[in-house]
Amino acid sequence: MSVRTISAPKLVASVLPADFAELGRDVEQIDKAGIDRIQWDVMDGSFVPNLTFGPDVIAANRGRTPIGFEAHLMVDDPDPMLHRWVDAGCQIVIVHAEACRHLHRTLSHIRDLGALAGVALNPATPLDAVVNVLDVTDLLLVMTVNPGFGGQRYLADMEPKIAAARAEIDRRGLDIELEVDGGINTATIGAAAATGADVFCTGSALFSGPGSMSDRAHEMRTAATQRLVLR
C-alpha cells in the first residue's frame, strides 16, 4: 500500500458552537466558507458529560450542503446505532476506542455499511490502543481536548502522540487521515500540522473571531499549509 499523498490540509467544522435554533443556516454558512467537511459532535451524556443530538438532526440538514459529514460518536456502546448515522448522510463514522468492547469488529462493521471508519483517542489513551486496528481504519482522530465541550484549550502535550501516529501510518504505508480536534485555531493549527496531522477540526475559532467565517477559515488553512508535512 502506498503512503497517501498529502498536499493540502483539510478543514472540518465542528457544529458544537453553531446556533442550534438555526442549524440549517449555519450549515450553509460553513459550506460557503469553503470548509471541507462538517463534524457532527454526537454526545450521549454518559461517555461525555454533554448531550447533543441524534441522527434525525443530521438527516434534517443533509440537504443543506453537498460537503461531507462525519459523525463523531462520543457515546458509550455505539454499535446498535451505527447504521443510523450512515442512513442520515454521514460518509465517515468515528467511534471512540474507549467506548468499544470489540473495536476491530465495530470498525469493520462501519466499513461494511459503506462508510469510512474512524477511531478517536481521548488525551489519556495511548496510540497503542489502536495499532492493531489501523488496517481497518480510514481516519484516526487524536483529541487535543478532553471531549464534551467546545472552547477548551489545545493540549500541546498531545503532539508526541500525533507525531507517533504519523510515523506509524507512514511506516506501514496506510491510507489513513490523521485528524486533530479541540482548541484548533490560527495559533495552534501550525504546531498540529508540523507534528503530522493533515485534517483539522475546529469549532469556536471558526464560529467566532475577527472577520467573516471565510476569513477565519482561510487564515487557519494558510497557517496549516505553511507547516504541513507534505508527502
Q: Which of residues 205-224 bind ligand DX5 (CB under 6 A)?
A: 205
Identify which of residues 150 and 196 has a Cβ nearer to ligand DX5 in the complex: 150
Residue with cell 485555531: 185
Task: For residue 106, give the H/E element and its range.
Answer: helix 103-112
> What Rg do the C-alpha atoms of the chain give, in angstroms?
16
Spatial separation of the C-alpha atoms in residues 218 and 160, rounded to whole Å: 27
Residue number, nearest CB to ligand DX5: 203
Cell matching residue 205: 475559532
The pattern of x and - marking residues 110 through 129 that bind ligand DX5 according to CB under 6 A reads --------------------
* 121 φ/ψ angles, rounded to the nearest 5 degrees: -120, 125
Which one, of 185, 98, 91, lies nearest residue 139 by Cα? 91
- By rule CB under 6 A, what count of residues binds ligand DX5? 21
Q: Is 148 in the site for ligand DX5 (CB under 6 A)?
A: yes
Coil/strand/helix, residue 176: coil
- 3-state DSSP assignment of residue 93: strand
Quick note: the x/- pattern for ligand DX5 over 160-189, rule CB under 6 A, is ---------------------xxxx-----
Catalytic pick among 26, 44, 138, 181: 181
Q: Indicate the annotated binding residues.
A: 14, 72, 148-151, 181-183, 203-204
Known binding-site residues for substrate equal 14, 72, 148-151, 181-183, 203-204
Residues annotated as catalytic are: 41, 181
Residues in touch with ligand DX5 (CB under 6 A)? 14, 16, 39, 41, 72, 145, 147-152, 181-184, 201-205
